[in-house]
Amino acid sequence: MDRPDLPLNALRVFEVAMRQGSFTKAAIELRVTQAAVSHQVARLEDLLGTALFLRTSQGLIPTDEGRLLFPVLEHGFDAMSRVLDRLGGRRDI
């Protein structure tokens, strides 16, 4: 996948959903609806051609693919956040 084609919003939503362990908690953190989180994760799953979560009555269970993707995204978003903090360009909106 070419860099300009990276679905950054969907990747960020997935990272938050994994960290929070729920679409509802991710929605609260991101200040969007639960449906928006679900839609972005489904979009990413469609793009990748694989499920990232199993949706059960007990909640979300990450798939092997989800567990593989998460630490890479977590590290990347943490690194970007640290650089932005260092540059003084980070502002909470």
pLDDT tens-digit readout, 18-75 = 999 999 999 999 999 999 999 999 999 999 999 999 999 989 999 999 999 999 999 9
Query: How many domains is the chain built from?
Result: 1
For residue 10, tell me if it sits in a domain.
yes
For residue 93, tell me if it sits in a domain.
no
Longest dimension (CA), the chain: 44
Whether the Cβ atoms of residue 59 and residue 24 lie closer than 8 Å to each other:
no
At residue 92, the pLDDT reads 58
Query: Which range marks the domain in which residue 11 is found?
Result: 3-87
For residue 92, tell me if it sits in a domain.
no
The CATH number assigned to the domain holding 63 equals 1.10.10.10
